[in-house]
């Protein structure tokens, strides 16, 4: 299900930079070989992530939720010379496809690919990040946010995916809302009330929360 009608989606994609051929091939491969391919960021959101990264020009990026590597490749487009993108995924079965496409994209040397539970890996990373993308299991969003905020430089950005949860966060009444939508509601409130940050919720695909550390 999408928050936007098809004509609207087609129009914004038509007047957005084309999807690079390599990413279109990765999308096809993901739809053929991986479970739940709709998890992939896709053309429009991918170009948005690439654009944010190009605006920030990060030296260190952290991504939570690699999946088949689509968003990592987009985020890496803005990396500064010598920069590194850390990306974490708990599912080791995805490694082959992600690594193949990191190699094809020519970013293998810039990617530090970590397999395991992000909650355990993040505290071990001895880095200060300029940009973080949170796109893994929703019930841990609050925990990821707390961990990464400590490792984010002032004026650094966190982008969080799926914060509109197909609209359920604002359409359903308190008693009817699913557990996951309620978790996301709580997360959005937590971020919005956090005095350490400023935030904007962008109605992009399933909702992107963009957070700047003061
Ligand atoms: C929505 S997909 C990521 C999509 C990807 N960012 C993209 O746009 O192409 C979520 C991923 O988070 C991973 N994941 C779930 N729980 C995790 C955890 N505790 N630590 C690390 N990765 C996790 C899943 O294995 C899955 O591949």
Residue 195 — very low, low, confident or very high, per pLDDT cuts 50/70/90?
very high
Q: Is the CB of 65 under 6 A from ligand 1?
A: yes
Instruction: State the residue range of the domain holding 200.
Output: 6-213
**What are residue 186's DSSP bridge partners?**
none
pLDDT value of position 86? 98
Q: Is the CB of 120 under 6 A from ligand 1?
A: no
Indicate which residue's Cα is closest to atom 27 of ligand 1: 67
Whole-number Å distance, alpha carbon 91 to ligand 1 midpoint, is 8
Q: Is residue 70 part of a domain?
A: yes
pLDDT value of position 179? 93
Q: Is residue 173 part of a domain?
A: yes
Query: Which of 46, 66, 72, 92 for mutating ligand 1's site (highest number of atoms within 8 Å of CB)?
Result: 66
> Does position 100 have pLDDT exceeding 80, yes or no?
yes
Residue 1 — very low, low, confident or very high, per pLDDT cuts 50/70/90?
low
| CA 27/CA 128 separation, integer angstroms | 31
> Does position 30 have pLDDT exceeding 80, yes or no?
yes
Is residue 39 helix, strand or coil?
A: helix
State the Cα torsion 145-151-153-157 to the nearest 10°. -30
Instruction: Say what the pTM is.
Output: 0.97
The model's pLDDT over 102-149, given as tens digits with 9 standing for 90+, comes to 999 999 999 999 999 999 999 999 999 999 999 999 999 999 999 999
pLDDT value of position 171? 87
Tokens of 149: 């905020």
Span 26-54, mean pLDDT?
A: 97
Q: Is the CB of 41 under 6 A from ligand 1?
A: yes
> Does position 94 have pLDDT exceeding 80, yes or no?
yes
CATH number, domain of 132, equals 3.40.50.150
For 212, the enclosing helix (H) or strand (E) is strand 208-213
> Does position 169 have pLDDT exceeding 80, yes or no?
yes
pLDDT value of position 62? 99
Residue 151 — very low, low, confident or very high, per pLDDT cuts 50/70/90?
very high
When divided into structural domains, the chain yields a total of 1
Q: Is the CB of 86 under 6 A from ligand 1?
A: no
Q: Is residue 150 part of a domain?
A: yes
Q: Is the CB of 122 under 6 A from ligand 1?
A: no
Query: CA 77: distance to chain centroid?
Result: 14
Span 25-29, mean pLDDT?
A: 98
How far CA 142 is from CA of 11, 24, 71, 134, 137, in Å, comes to 34, 32, 21, 10, 11
Q: Is residue 53 part of a domain?
A: yes
Q: Are 65 and 89 in contact (CB under 8 A)?
A: yes
Whole-number Å distance, alpha carbon 189 to ligand 1 midpoint, is 23
Q: Where are the beta strands (DSSP E) in 74-165?
A: 84-89, 111-115, 129-134, 152-161
Indicate which residue's Cα is closest to atom 8 of ligand 1: 41
The percent of the chain in helix, strand and coil, each rounded to the nearest 5, is 50, 20, 30
- What is the distance in angstroms between the CA of the first residue and the CA of the last residue of the chain? 35
Residue 4 — very low, low, confident or very high, per pLDDT cuts 50/70/90?
confident
Mean pLDDT of the chain, nearest integer: 96
Q: Is residue 40 part of a domain?
A: yes
Q: Are 27 and 70 in contact (CB under 8 A)?
A: yes
Strand 152-161 relative to strand 208-213: parallel, antiparallel, unpaired?
Answer: antiparallel
Q: Are 125 and 62 in contact (CB under 8 A)?
A: yes
Query: Which of 24, 131, 136 for mutating ligand 1's site (highest number of atoms within 8 Å of CB)?
Result: 136
- Give the chain's length: 214
Is residue 140 helix, strand or coil?
A: helix
For 180, the enclosing helix (H) or strand (E) is helix 179-192
Whole-number Å distance, alpha carbon 90 to ligand 1 midpoint, is 7
Query: Which of 30, 73, 137 for mutating ligand 1's site (highest number of atoms within 8 Å of CB)?
Result: 137
Q: Is residue 1 part of a domain?
A: no
Of ligand 1's listed atoms, the one at least distance from the Cα of 45 is 8
Least confident window among 1-10, 48-57, 58-67, 123-132: 1-10
């Amino acid at each position: 299900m999408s928050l936007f009608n098809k004509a609207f989606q087609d129009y914004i994609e038509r007047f957005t930079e084309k999807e690079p051929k390599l990413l279109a091939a990765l999308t096809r491969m993901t739809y053929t070989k991986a479970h739940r391919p709709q998890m992939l960021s896709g053309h429009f959101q991918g170009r948005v992530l690439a654009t944010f990264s190009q605006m920030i020009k990060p030296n260190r990026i952290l991504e939570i939720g690699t999946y088949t590597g689509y968003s990592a490749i987009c985020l890496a487009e803005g990396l500064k010379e010598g920069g590194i993108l850390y990306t974490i995924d708990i599912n080791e079965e995805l490694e082959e496809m992600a690594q193949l496409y990191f190699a094809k994209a020519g970013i293998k040397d810039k990617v530090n690919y970590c397999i395991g539970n992000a909650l355990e890996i993040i505290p071990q990373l001895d880095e200060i990040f300029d940009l973080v993308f949170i796109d893994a299991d929703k019930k841990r969003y609050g925990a990821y946010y707390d961990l990464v905020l400590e490792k984010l430089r002032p004026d650094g950005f966190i982008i969080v995916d799926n914060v509109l949860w197909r609209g359920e966060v604002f359409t359903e009444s308190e008693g009817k809302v699913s557990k996951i939508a309620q978790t996301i509601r709580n997360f959005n409130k937590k971020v919005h009330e956090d005095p350490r940050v400023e935030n904007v919720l962008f109605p992009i695909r399933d909702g992107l929360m963009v957070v700047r550390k003061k």
